[in-house]
Structures are given as structure tokens and as C-alpha cells.
Structure 1
Amino acid sequence: MRVLLSTYGSRGDVEPLVALAVRLRELGAQVRVCAPPDEVFARLLDRVGVEVVPVGRPMGTMAAPGTESAASRRAAELAAQYGTVVAAAEGFDVLLATGLAHFASRSAAEKLGIPYVYATFCPFLLRSPHQAPPALLPGQSFPPEVTDNLALWDLNAQTFNALHGGALNAHRASVGLPPVDDVHGFIFTDRPWLASDPALGPWRETPELDVVHTGAWILPDERPLADDLLAFLDAGTPPVFVGYGSMRGVSGDIAGVSIEAVRAHGRRVLVGSGWAELAAIDDQDDCFVVGEVNQQALFGRVAAVVHHGGAGTTTTAARAGAPQVVVPQAADQPYWAGRVAALGIGAAHDGSAPTTESLTAALATALSGEVRARARTVADGIRTDGAAVAAKLLLDAVDRTAAASRP
């Protein structure tokens, strides 16, 4: 069995796909991954020995579109990745895509006549009467008189068509494929896979979609922590970790605000530099800065985790039983902030630009004994078999499709 996994996004899109690749190989499949050519992703894939095909520009150079014209240009650029993806998928049996790989990947699978699956890591992107759709552009709002969630999803679908339909269909016409009338349906399909933990990111069944909920795709990380980091951890009480992952456009003083808020609680600070290149604000020995690090090993040794609310970081902190403060920046992050607060395992900061006072208050919640106990309880229920479940489902589905096509 030959499986092409295709993604275009941040680490939160790439690492789960690597976890799936590892599980597929364990089941005997040949796996190839299309991913952005960022060095961090190349190292991640090399670590597990998975074949990678670079696609598109480095994700670290991409900015989120803020206008309709920018969104259309982004769609055209994503669709143009088709040539690389269709060449990578030639001779393969199935294509599974995540992140922003949808435009190129579904068209490639359609052109080659192979089964296609789209997987997402957050329930809030999926049409449901139980939730309103997310805004597609900064500052976008829906008519206040429209309160029915499905009516809002219809408006959301119209926006998808307006933003992306022209660019998508122009590309499809150029490669001999028919036009798409419903861009949202084209992206997510009528049977999307949801790779979120059932406790952290639950899905309520609805006749609107046939969702396959596999659980989160977690890549085990066996890398040891660096000696200097271990020395810092061993030198005092557990620190509070502060990091904003793949977010580059965080507020300019977020490092200083975060460090001062942690110090206001008499805690030491561990700063994850991330794509925003956060740094210490002075030379006090209560603060230590780390770059790439095994968060699975680290988060079990911290008092709390202050972060942006990516699906991967939220899940890793929850698995470790670490209380969380989520300062959402964009996309699905407000959803995860809300889930952390609803589960009682941390605090959701109101807004993306904290002040020392607002973050100090949120940390007071996260560092309380009640939240610490609740975080440990929830940790016991986080599943770790999502990638294995998904790998088996994918190979079984391809086998059934092949059997059905035999005379």
C-alpha cells in the first residue's frame, strides 16, 4: 500500500502527519509526505526517516491574508502546488491531506482517480448546528439578525466561494478538471476526519456531516532534555513555561509582559523562543530560554504552560497534567482557549495582547490547587492511540475501495 500524506501549514499541521506516517509504516505501508520546505519540518521528518517532498514556499515566510484580494492570491498560490503534489502522488493508492494542502491535494487525487481524505485537527472548522462558523478574515462579522447556526454556515460557504472560488476554478480549468460550486464542501468533503482528542476537542454527531473522529495524532518524542535545561529545572521550584509556538505576529512586548506576570507569582520562567524569537528581558537567573525542545518531556516538569492555543501544544500540556493559560492569537486558538477553561484545566485569556495585570490574573487561576488537581485528572483520560486508529482506518478504507472495484 502506497500512501501520500500532504500538508501545508505550521508545525501543528506537520507533526501530526508525521505521527500518522510512522503508524502507517508499522502496518507495512510505503509513505511519502508533501510538506513546506522549512528546515524545522525537514529535521522532524528526517528524525523518523520518512520520505519528504518539499512543496510551496517556506511556511515561515507566509502571512495570514487580511483582505479579500490577499485571500484570493493565497488560494491561487496554494492551488499552484498541484504540480508537485500530483507528481508525488503518481502511482500511489490514496492521498490524505491536512492544513492548507486542500486545494492542490484534492484536485491531484481527483486527476489521478485515487481515494482522498481530508483531516482537520479542530472541530470548530466543521459545519454543525451546534456551533457557529469561524470568521474567515480579520474583523469579519455576520449579520446580527442571523442567529441560526446552519444559516450562518450557509453565509460562511458563500464567503468561501467569494474568496477562493475564482482562483480555485481557474486552476482546475487549467489542468482539465471541472469547476467547483461549493468551495467549503470541496475543502472539507462530506466525510472529513477529525484528529482531536475526544475530551479536549469533542464532536457532537449531526446529520450535516459524517465525521470520522480518530483521536489526536501524537508523535512520541524520546529526545532527552539538554543538560543546561535539566540543570535549570533542578536548581529550583518548577518554572512556568511561556511560548507562542509558530506565531510570529505576537504583540511586541509579549515576552516582557509574560516574564513579569510569572515573576509576580514568585515563579521562575522558562521561555520558548519559537517563531517570534522571544528572549529574556534581563540577566536574572530565574529565567531560561530554550529553542526546539521535547515538550512531552518538559511539560511534566513545569508549574504551568502559557501558550498561544495551538492544538498540539494544548494536547501536549493536557497529557502532561500541566495547568494552562491560553493567549489565543488566531485561527482555532480561541476554540482551544475555551476548551481549556471549560474543562477547568486552566484559564482563557481575553484577547491576543495581554498586559502584565491581565496575564497575572489568568496565571492566578492556572496556578491554583484546584486547577492543578483537575489538570491531573483530565490527563489520565487523554488518548494516545489516535494515529494508530487513523492508520488502520485509512488502509482498511483503501482495501475496501479496491475490493469493490474488482470484477
Structure 2
Amino acid sequence: MRVLLSTIGSRGEVQPVVALASELRALGQDVRLCVPPDFRAWLDELGFDVVPIGPELRGTASVRRPTPEELRKATEETVVTQFETVAVAAEGCDVLVAAGALQFATRSIAQRTGAAYVYASFCPITLPSEHHAPPPMPWRSPGKAENRALWAEDAQHWNLMFGEKVNECRATVGQDPVDDLQAHVFTDRPWLAADAALAPWPEPEDPRVVQTGAWVWPDERPLPPGLLEFLDAGEPPVYFGFGSMRAPGELAEAMLAAARAHGRRAVIARGWAGLAAADGQPDCFGIGEVNQQALFRRVAAVVHHGGAGTTTTAARAGAPQVVVPQMYDQHYFAGRVRELGLGAATEPGVPTADTLATALETALRPDVATRARQFAGKVRTDGASVAARQLLATVPLSVGFPGRRSSVG
């Protein structure tokens, strides 16, 4: 069986897809990945067949947020690119798996080719439910409290912003228009690739959603020698990192000041924002891309933006957390860290040294450290294996027979 795994996100979306790809390959399946070109070299080293999609994401990072019109135009261009690129990547594939946000084309292509289709989300609140509202977005109407109304508004926004372009692309190959784009993408049985202890589906027995657990790629890279020397030279430092998020360069100074306020050293990840750590100072060490799974087991706390992958990695490592949410599902994970007593969260936006220091005061408490270590034992690491076996158990029912299904679960 040949499987196409598609995502257009940053490393937080790509690394889980690689975890699933690795499990499928270990089970003897032929796997192809359609991901941004930023990750081509890494995946080539891992021996995967890769079809790059769109421009490099790293070059698009900017402190200034795009206007609604700029966002609309960029997303329409993304829709066209997806229809063109995923169609090529899907050639000869039996199953198409679309993972993460803004997956507009994959199901249409599965319907066209007769392949089976699965949509997978990395966070519960990105899937419709009467038990939660959609992720916060700038265009959301204020004052609505009823979740069903919010989801109806969300579906309408999908249709208004992206539906016309999707239907234009479908029409070029003779496909009928889609009247509910959100339902079309998600299907009536989406998968939730999130840990059940950290990010549970609100209705555990709900047969409409398949919660596989988080897709964790086992990172076996050694930490750089210089970082190991820094870690060994004193008490566990505080890790600061915003991943692919936009952030002003001077934020590194605020991070270091917050750590110093508690007598702690700092490890600062430069990330896509290029945060300039105070390298050369004995209490600060700047890093690029490293093995977070290994690093987080050796720090006093993890201060981050609240992406699904980073939150799960920190929880699995037993590290207290400070979440500084910026957008989308990060607000959900900030709330979960607070609710579970695993740390603290700041208000959205760029934090100051004072707000970071105040949040660290909570995260560095001994009782929080104890709770974080205990919670780590609840975080499962077999989500990708569960998903791979689920795929193999269900897809053969629909692959290779006339009139096969266009979605599985």
C-alpha cells in the first residue's frame, strides 16, 4: 500500500507526520510526504520520498501580522498550489492523509483518484464540538457564547474565504462544488492526533472522532557538546523558545532577565525569529534546532509559545511549563497547562521580562515540578503506532474494490 502524508505547517506539524511515516514504513508500507521545502534535506536524510509544496515557510516569518486581505490572497494562492502539488504527489497512492490546518485540496484529489482519505487534527478545539468553541481568530465576532453558533460562523467563514477558490479548482476537473468546505475537509470521522491525558476529546466515547494519541517521532540526536557542557556546569536552566513564531529580536533580553530574576541560567532557542541570545555570558546559551526530547529532561522549566508538539514534549519530559500563546490552538494548550497544574501562562502577545518572571514564579514552585514529573507518566508515546495500525486495519476495507470509500476511520 502506498500512503501520502500531507501537511503545510512548520516543524510542529511536520515532525508528527514523520512519526506516522516512520511507523508505516516499519510495517512495510510505501510512504510519500508532501511538506514545505524547509524540511526536504532532513527528510532526504531519513530516506523518505518527498514532494515539496509551496515556498519555504521560514522566509515568510515576520513580526508584522498580515492584514485580512493579505491573508485571503495568500490562502487562495495556497489552495491553488495544493491542488496542483498534492495531485502530483498523490499519483499511485492508495491512501491520502491530510494533517493539520488549512488542508483544502487533499480530499478532492482523493475523490478524483478513488484513494481513501483521512483528516487528522493535532488539537481538540480545531474540530467541531458543542463542548468547545473554535480556536480564537481575529475575525471572530465578539459576544457569542453558544458553541454551535460559533462553529456555524466558522464554517461560513471557510466558505466565504476559501470555498470559491476550492470549487474553481474542483470545476476544472469536472468535480461538483462543495457547499460546506469545513465538513468536506474534516469528514464525519476525523482523527485526533493528540495525547488523551493532555488534550482529550471532550466526549471520550464519541464514535465520530478517532483519538490515536500524539504522533511522537523518537528523536535520538545527541545534544551538541557545547550545550551539554553548559547544562553540566550548574543547576538546571530555564529553556526559552518560540519555534516558528514571529517575535521581536529584543525578546531574548527579556527572557534572560526573567531567568536571572529567579537566579537561573537560560537556554534560548533562536527559532525562526532569530532571537539573539547573549552568547558568551556564563548564564546564557543560544541554540538552534536541537533534540527537545533530551533537552527538556534537563531544564527547570520550558517557556514556549504553546504549540501542540512543544507542549506535548515538555509534558512527556516532566518539565514545568510557561506558555506564551500567540494564536490558534496555542490558547487551548495554555489553558490546559494551567488547569493541570503543570505551570503557568501569560497573556497573549509579546511578553515582558516582568510578565515572564511572574509566570516563572509559579512554574518553578516545587509542587509544580512534582506534579509535572507525575503527569509525565500519563503521556503516551505510542500514538503514531496506534495510528499506523488503525490505518492498515481500516483502509484495506476500502482500497482495491469498486466503489471504495473516500474516507476511513
CA distance in 1, matches of 2:237, 2:44: 31
- Give me the identity figure in percent: 55
Per the alignment, residue 230 of structure 1 pairs with 228
The letter for the 2-side match of 1:22 is S
Per the alignment, residue 98 of structure 1 pairs with 99
Distance 1:101 1:330, change over 3 A: closer
1:118-129 map, 5 Å: 118-129=119-130
Deviations 1:178-237 (A, max 9, x none): 111111112222111100000111102289981110000000011111111111111111
1:129-278 map, 5 Å: 129-136=130-137, 138=138, 140-144=139-143, 146-205=144-203, 210-247=208-245, 249-278=246-275
| Contact 2:53–2:81, Cα closer than 8 Å, also in 1 | no
2:334 matches 1:333:
no
1:282 is displaced (CA, Å) by: 6.5
The alignment partner of 2:37 has SS state of: coil
| Contact 2:115–2:399, Cα closer than 8 Å, also in 1 | no
The alignment partner of 2:327 has SS state of: coil
| Contact 1:244–1:307, Cα closer than 8 Å, also in 2 | yes
The letter for the 2-side match of 1:127 is P
Q: Name the stretch that deviates more: 7-16 or 280-289.
A: 280-289
Per the alignment, residue 378 of structure 1 pairs with 375
| Contact 1:128–1:208, Cα closer than 8 Å, also in 2 | no
Per the alignment, residue 407 of structure 2 pairs with none
The letter for the 2-side match of 1:385 is D
The letter for the 1-side match of 2:2 is R
Deviations 1:294-332 (A, max 9, x none): 111111011111111111111111111010001011121
1:123 is displaced (CA, Å) by: 0.5
Per the alignment, residue 82 of structure 2 pairs with 81
> RMSD of aligned C-alpha atoms?
2.0
Distance 1:406 1:155, change over 3 A: closer
| Contact 1:250–1:329, Cα closer than 8 Å, also in 2 | no
Per the alignment, residue 33 of structure 2 pairs with 33
Distance 1:65 1:127, change over 3 A: farther
CA distance in 2, matches of 1:65, 1:193: 30
| Contact 2:51–2:89, Cα closer than 8 Å, also in 1 | yes
| Contact 1:127–1:208, Cα closer than 8 Å, also in 2 | no
The letter for the 1-side match of 2:272 is W
Deviations 1:23-47 (A, max 9, x none): 0011110001011111xx1233134
| Contact 1:195–1:215, Cα closer than 8 Å, also in 2 | yes
| Contact 2:325–2:334, Cα closer than 8 Å, also in 1 | yes
The alignment partner of 2:235 has SS state of: coil
1:3 is displaced (CA, Å) by: 0.6
Which of residues 312, 316, 328 is equivalent to 2:313? 316
Distance 1:163 1:135, change over 3 A: farther
The alignment partner of 2:355 has SS state of: helix
In the alignment, structure 2 segments of 5+ residues that lack a partner are 405-409
| Contact 2:122–2:192, Cα closer than 8 Å, also in 1 | yes
| Contact 2:279–2:286, Cα closer than 8 Å, also in 1 | no
1:406 is displaced (CA, Å) by: 9.0
Aligned residues: 401
1:175 is displaced (CA, Å) by: 2.5
CA distance in 2, matches of 1:231, 1:69: 45
2:59 matches 1:61:
yes
CA distance in 1, matches of 2:152, 2:86: 30
Distance 1:307 1:115, change over 3 A: same
The letter for the 1-side match of 2:322 is V
Distance 1:160 1:134, change over 3 A: same
| Contact 1:124–1:332, Cα closer than 8 Å, also in 2 | yes
CA distance in 1, matches of 2:78, 2:205: 34
| Contact 2:250–2:275, Cα closer than 8 Å, also in 1 | no
| Contact 2:212–2:386, Cα closer than 8 Å, also in 1 | yes
| Contact 1:272–1:291, Cα closer than 8 Å, also in 2 | yes
In the alignment, structure 1 segments of 5+ residues that lack a partner are none
The letter for the 2-side match of 1:16 is P
The alignment partner of 1:81 has SS state of: helix
Per the alignment, residue 343 of structure 1 pairs with 340
Report runs of 4+ in structure 1 exceeding 3 Å deviation: 61-66, 206-209, 402-407
The letter for the 1-side match of 2:48 is V
CA distance in 2, matches of 1:101, 1:116: 16
Provide the TM-score with structure 1 as the length reference.
0.94
The letter for the 1-side match of 2:391 is L
2:388 matches 1:391:
yes
The letter for the 2-side match of 1:169 is N
Deviations 1:16-73 (A, max 9, x none): 00000000011110001011111xx123313422111111111223467530563254
The letter for the 1-side match of 2:210 is V
| Contact 1:6–1:101, Cα closer than 8 Å, also in 2 | no
Which of residues 48, 55, 76 is equivalent to 1:50? 48
CA distance in 1, matches of 2:165, 2:108: 13
The alignment partner of 1:293 has SS state of: coil
Distance 1:109 1:201, change over 3 A: same
Per the alignment, residue 3 of structure 2 pairs with 3
